[in-house]
Amino acid sequence: MQDSPPSNGKSGEAKPHRSLLERLTALIAPGPDSRDELLATLHDAHERNLIDADALSMIEGVFQVSELTARDIMVPRSRMDVIDITQPIAEWLPMVLETAHSRFPAVEGERDQVVGILMAKDLLRYYAEESFDVRAKLRKAVFIPESKRLNVLLAEFRSKHNHMAIVVDEYGGVAGLITIEDVLEQIVGDIEDEYDFDDEEDNIIAVREGKDGPRWRVLAQTEIDEFNEELGTALANPDVDTIGGFIIDHLARVPQKGEILEIAHLQDHLRFTILRADARHILMVMVERLTPPAADEEVIED
């Protein structure tokens, strides 16, 4: 009969050996007792180069996702790009091509009457089939309340393989929409999409003229001097260097994706639409030059 090894009084696998320094550190500086203390510890680790800025940002994003709801980051109803299946396809197809989204809520006359989701790729059959029935191509729409927590929503997106949900208010009316990309961007930051820029020289791209004049897609990191040179403007702010910083300083907050604001500065009157943003910073904006207001006209700023 073999001798049994000395027992330490505990069952299961042995704990990994910790050095004397690790045991002393744990004794002198116990772990954080709250979320704030944990974040402070992580910021301290970043300052000591133990974790990089991207890792810290993602960890903060994870905490934020557990606190935010669909209402906080949804695309508002008024800014949703929808298709009305009661209209001929030719009526809304140019909008589909211009916005270049992969999915569109399909409505019947009114925005509250969402009857499904149309995948843009399914429209390819429109050019191949003589009797194309758009209603037959619709996917089932998912409806969620405004109060749905983002961490719960993300789990549902993953388990049910959905990419878009329609947000409804307490009365059942459509309040907006939210995508899986919107949720993930709260954790990992901006995800490249149809507005991708090819290289560093593409900070400013002119696009086709809008109803009020020329428009440009501009990376928020673009220097104000470069912006002024390209657009012929005279924006100035001694406290910031970039267009994103200029907008945030003007609003005294970080705007949400889809938000629209007008800024009158000296002789310049511009409309900014936030194309891409996360909870921490702006990434891309659409800029439109508006007619300068008359001297006695009040400028309403968002």
Question: Tens digit of pLDDT for each residue in 225-281?
Answer: 999 999 889 899 999 999 999 999 999 888 887 788 998 877 788 999 888 776 678
Q: Is residue 14 in a domain?
A: no
| Model confidence band, residue 190 (pLDDT cutoffs 50, 70, 90) | low
Residue 26: pLDDT over 80: no
**CA 15 – CA 63 distance, rounded (Å):** 29
Residue 94: pLDDT over 70: yes
Segments forming the whole domain that contains residue 53:
31-65
More confident residue, 143 or 101: 143
Cα separation values, 242 from 89, 158, 268, 284, Å: 41, 36, 17, 12
Strand 282-289: give its sheet, edge to edge.
204-210, 213-219, 282-289, 268-277, 260-265
| Model confidence band, residue 78 (pLDDT cutoffs 50, 70, 90) | confident
Q: Is residue 231 in a domain?
A: yes
Q: Could you tell me if 57 and 81 lie in one domain?
A: no
Report the pLDDT value the prediction gives residue 21, as an integer from 0 to 100.
54
Q: Could you tell me if 77 and 108 lie in one domain?
A: yes
**CA 35 – CA 187 distance, rounded (Å):** 17
Q: Is residue 9 in a domain?
A: no
Q: Could you tell me if 75 and 180 lie in one domain?
A: yes
Q: Could you tell me if 80 and 158 lie in one domain?
A: yes
Q: Is residue 130 in a domain?
A: yes
| Model confidence band, residue 201 (pLDDT cutoffs 50, 70, 90) | low
Q: Is residue 87 in a domain?
A: yes
Q: For the chain, how many structural domains are there in total?
A: 3
Q: Could you tell me if 91 and 176 lie in one domain?
A: yes
Q: Is residue 294 in a domain?
A: no
Q: Is residue 253 in a domain?
A: yes
More confident residue, 292 or 17: 17
Q: Could you tell me if 210 and 257 lie in one domain?
A: yes
Q: Is residue 7 in a domain?
A: no
Q: Could you tell me if 106 and 132 lie in one domain?
A: yes
